[in-house]
Amino acid sequence: MNISVRLRKFPFWSWLWFILGVLYFVLPLFATLEFSLGMQRDVLSLKAYQKAFADPKFWQTFGYSVFLAVMTIIVSIILIVPTAYWIRLRLPEARRIVEFITLLPFVIPAIILVFGLIRVYSTPFHIPFTNIYLGQPLTNFKFGTNILIIGGYMVLGLPYMYRSVDTGMRTVDVRTLTEAAQSLGANWFVVIARVILPNIRTALLSGSLLTFAIVVGEVVLASFLGVQAFGPYLFLLGQHRAYEPAALTFTTFLMTWAAMGIIQLVTGGQGQTAGAH
Amino acid sequence: MSETALQPPSKTPTPRSNWKNWIGVVPFFLFAIMFIFLPSVRLFIGSFTNEEGHFTLDNVRQLFTQQYIINSYLLSIRISATTALGGGIFGFLLAYSVTVGGLPKSLRSALITFSGVASNFAGVPLAFAFVATLGRTGFVTTILKDVFGLNIYDAGFNLYSFLGLSLTYMYFQFPLMVLVMAPALDGLKREWREAAENLGANSIQYWLRVALPILLPSILGAMILLFGNAFGAYATAYALTGGRLPIITIQIGAQVRGDVLHNPNLGNAMAMGMVVIMAISLAGYSWLQGKTERWLR
């Protein structure tokens, strides 16, 4: 019996599926790479990459996207870590409702989210039941648009960030850590910033990288809110160029790969994945 | 002492600090109200409002009577269902091959990492990658033509069509299936297989009568997740087809851009229709997920 189990035949079908899967993964990437290297006739060259990176618009839009991603991550952490911490420590009855809210972005696709945001914030804020309008519409000035898009990106990243942070807190004993820190005279701010945060850094890193991967190439919110980010830039470049977009596409892929690779490394395969399309 | 002992035990020992505890989550709720609830409520109210600002069911009625809207919903549903089924089956077979299929352990983590990357590789870059692969002068198109003498474009294939978009969506669909199914397949206990074999079952009988029935809710649940994943996609389709394939997200996008601004509230209603379909899928998913966990924990 044991021998027959051990000598069970070579897993032909498994290998077949695996190889087909690898082909599906690799072929589009290889095709993109091959195409991006073919800008000069008959030789492989990095010319498309040189040209793409030489465009100041690329650095502007890419830098702006990185800025948006970093802001999204920072504000998300400031918002979500104390919330998750508080729920774990003091307010377990809020867990269900908060978890429900963090799942809502799965029901509201980016296109709908941006539609709603524009409908709400393209008019001045209206105090209900009065005729009083406050301020300017957020979509009319740059700072307002930044607030809107970072808020929108926080919504897109919310399920992943919240789940990462919550999982991270489950693995450390939040209550004991808090009591220990407080008995040494730490206040709430010190407890969260210097005790809780360092203890969930792996979870924070994987949540952040996932958010980064979602935000940097994002195109729907950025283009509808009229933000000069990398996603819309790449899209427009694709309308009138051939090789440079391929070069940037391959670069984007490498960045996504780096982000996921690091998550895999730090979490040992427990990182939650899947993003916005 | 005796006073307190006589009182019925109170459920909340510190009622005064209890409501104060909610202050700690106020920022989160403010954020949710500003960026999730207000936009959704606005779309919801808008879909029941006519241009004079009065209540109407006309927008919702149009969802079910305007042929181009019905067609868009149906096209989106067809693409999502096709790629959920195709990606689901292929993703399941892949997850099977690296979990219980007898492949070396090292391939498993490679596949999981790659799935994490691919399920996040979408939108504009994905569309460009598929143009380079299966476009008219794409890599695979050329190989098929030069090596196998098969011109897929003469044979009726077109990347900017239903089939082309489905193949593109598959790139982020089946990796998601792998990510969801791998843990479920890990949950299959070795004892079940041994018990089945001791009772004389062969491999096919084991799969059909033991493993698949256990996994079925989680397979269906994962496929529903894939359905929603494709249903909400916009950027990939827009970058690939430039709006020539009128799926519902592209119709809504056109409404937001104001290309077809005869009735802005109709756009609200179309968006609400999508949210309803997505909500039904997610509810189905979590219901099925609950059914699986009984077995696989």
Cβ–Cβ < 8 Å for A271, A167:
no
Other Cβ atoms closer than 10 A to B284: 17
With vertex at residue A213, the alpha carbon angle to CA A99 and CA B158, rounded to the nearest 5 degrees, is 110
Cross-chain residue pair B102–A108, CB shorter than 8 Å: no
Cross-chain residue pair A260–B93, CB shorter than 8 Å: no
The strand pair at A133-134 and A125-126 is best described as antiparallel
Residue-wise pLDDT for A3-46, tens only, equals 445 445 678 889 999 999 999 999 999 999 999 998 888 888 88
Name the residue of chain A whose CA is nearest to B267's CA: A115
Percent of the residues in chain B that have a pLDDT greater than 90, as a whole number: 41
Sequence-distant (≥ 6) Cβ neighbours of residue A277 within 8 angstroms: B122, B123, B172, B229, B230, B232, B233, B234, B235, B236
Where does the pLDDT of residue A96 fall: very low under 50, low under 70, confident under 90, or very high at 90 and above? Answer: confident
With vertex at residue B176, the alpha carbon angle to CA B219 and CA A66, rounded to the nearest 5 degrees, is 155
What gap in Å lies between CA B286 and CA B279, rounded to an integer? 11
Cross-chain residue pair B97–A14, CB shorter than 8 Å: yes
Q: pTM of the prediction?
A: 0.86
Residue A159, pLDDT > 50, answer yes
Q: Where are the domains of chain B?
A: 52-296
A133's enclosing H/E stretch is: strand A133-134
Q: What's the N-to-C CA distance of chain A in angstroms?
A: 49
For residue A271, give both structure tokens: 């990182």
Q: Give the residues across from A125 on adjacent strands.
A: A134
Chain A residues inside the 8 Å CB shell of B256: 111, 114-115, 118, 224
Q: Is B287 on the interface with A (CB under 8 A)?
A: no
The identity of residue B149, as a single letter, is G
Residue-wise pLDDT for A220-253, tens only, equals 999 999 999 999 999 999 988 889 999 999 998 8
CATH class of B52-296: mainly alpha
Q: Which domains does chain A have, with CATH numbers?
A: 58-267 (1.10.3720.10)
Report pLDDT for A63.
Answer: 94
The verdict on ipTM greater than 0.90 is no
Phi-psi region of A269 (alpha: psi -120 to 50; beta: other; left: phi over 0): left
Selected residue of B12, B16, B28 to mutate for chain A interface (largest A Cβ count, 10 A): B28
Name the residue of chain A whose CA is nearest to B27's CA: A79
Task: Give the position of tokens 């950027």.
Answer: B235
Closest Cα in chain A, distance from residue B4 (Å): 25
Closest Cα in chain A, distance from residue B5 (Å): 26
With vertex at residue B284, the alpha carbon angle to CA B278 and CA B289, rounded to the nearest 5 degrees, is 125
